[in-house]
Amino acid sequence: MTQPGSLDAPPTSGPLAGLRVIEIGVAMAGPYCAMTLGDFGAEVVKIERVGAGDDSRSWPPHFHGAMGYYYGSANRNKRSVALDLKSPEGAAIARKLIEGADILVDNYRIGALARAGLGWEVLRAANPRLIYCSVSGFGATGPRAEEPANDLFMQAYAGGMSITGEEGGGPVKMGMSVADIGAGMLATIGVMMAVEARHRTGRGQRVETSLLEGQMSMLAHFVTRYFASGEVPGPSGSGALTSPTYRAFRAADDWIVISAFNQRMWRGLCTALERPEWVDDPRFADAALRVANRLELIDLIGAVIATRRVTEWEMLLKSNEVPCCPINRIDKVVAEEQVAARSMVTEIDLPGLGAMRMAGLPVKLSETPAAIGLPPPRLGQHTAEVMRDAGYADAEIEALARRGAIGLDEGWREGDQPRRAG
């Protein structure tokens, strides 16, 4: 076997071109971080379990009966390598790949990678420039550090579910995977700050975040509200505890959101509702009075809104400069002209299967834009390719596969090497 090699791959024009990332992640938080780095040009290798891969591969529905939707949503722009990290040989391959990388992203339970010989101290000694990003449930320290957590668990534990839902009703989970994706976004920010610091120091560092810390940061104004008032925030339905004119109302045919959050908009709302006398009504004349008489005002506005259709209210409210919007379902959102104008639905080809539609790239850069060059990979699709790049001969690859240390995709001898679009 030759000396440790690099994860060589075709260059891209993205701002992170030249950075090499190893991801050891499952489901959403870690994979979302690594995908974002890949979208902007980093070369990402995803290490998955032999035989099973990322848990989310099996979650239905599937595109063309083969690509799990959840897996596909967080794993574009990556190459897949199947390794058994519980075997000494599989762990050794992972170490070798990480020694040639800039960034490691993982969202395994705290301590799991250390038990495989892939802990921070070991890897930092071998690669001082390594940025080691860990996304966990509770963080790396504290009494619950080694406990597992997931999105639903953390929405409950961190308090988000206690402020979601209708007043007087039961707890409601946020529809989006807000704990997972929030942690993945914060991990991406942390990695980029560590990359910038490395430009000055030449040294890598450990980057840590967690579902708990992500949720606490998102709850920032609820936490400060509690400390300021001593009152425990609760659910406020479609609106906000601080404003009765910032919520959804039922029109004659459907729901509409009104977000009149200042005095100018309050006057415009009263005009649109044909209730000009409310502007100076001593119950509603300023924001504090409207909050004090919140339930009464919600009922009054609701009774008026119920008399006309959503399209009529949109016209009236917008003509009075009051922000408003129907509550779109997903099928409506993906067909919106504005979504198309911002390229927020994109289609990619799954080789041998067909088209896959997914959410587009949310950040636009004028000089070094992101790109989708690689579709979500098949399990172990690039095991042989990456190992060859790292200096392994085909005979070694075959022997390791026979022993179960690695997993190979069909057709590996043909060198299935899809290339990133320019």
Is a pLDDT exceeding 90 seen at residue 233? no
Give, for 3, the enclosing helix (H) or strand (E).
none
| pLDDT band with cut points at 50, 70 and 90 for residue 418 | very low
pTM of the model: 0.86
Question: What would the pLDDT profile of 118-132 be if each residue is shown by its tens digit?
Answer: 999 999 999 999 999
pLDDT value of residue 231: 87
The H-assigned helical ranges of 25-83 are 29-39, 69-73
What is the pLDDT of the chain when averaged over all its residues?
89
Question: What would the pLDDT profile of 349-406 be if each residue is shown by its tens digit?
Answer: 988 889 999 999 999 988 889 999 899 999 999 999 999 999 999 999 999 999 999 9
Q: What is the C-alpha to C-alpha distance for residues 288 and 68, in angstroms, rounded to an integer?
A: 50
Q: Which of 348, 325, 344, 326 is nearest to 334 (CA)?
A: 344
Question: What would the pLDDT profile of 140-178 be if each residue is shown by its tens digit?
Answer: 889 988 888 889 889 898 888 888 888 888 888 888 899
% of the chain residues with pLDDT over 70: 94
pLDDT value of residue 169: 82
pLDDT value of residue 276: 95
List of long-range contacts for 327-330, beta carbons under 8 Å, 24+ apart? 327/248, 327/254, 327/255, 327/256, 327/257
Alpha-carbon distance values, 394 to 9, 92, 129, 385, 386 (Å): 19, 17, 30, 10, 12
pLDDT value of residue 12: 56
- Total number of residues shown for the chain: 422
Question: What would the pLDDT profile of 57-73 be if each residue is shown by its tens digit?
Answer: 988 998 898 888 989 99
Q: What is the C-alpha to C-alpha distance for residues 16 and 39, in angstroms, rounded to an integer?
A: 9
| Contact in structure between 383 and 410 (CB atoms under 8 Å) | no
Of residues 232 and 7, more confidently modeled: 232
pLDDT value of residue 243: 85
Question: What would the pLDDT profile of 256-307 be if each residue is shown by its tens digit?
Answer: 999 998 999 999 999 999 999 999 999 999 999 999 998 999 999 999 999 9
**E-strand spans in 42-191?**
43-49, 62-63, 67-68, 79-83, 103-106, 131-136
- 102, 106, 151, 180: the catalytic one is 180
List of long-range contacts for 66-70, beta carbons under 8 Å, 24+ apart? 66/350, 66/353, 67/350, 67/353, 67/356, 67/376, 70/27, 70/28
180 belongs to the catalytic site: yes
CA trace torsion 49, 51, 54, 59 (10° rounding):
-160
% of the chain residues with pLDDT over 90: 63
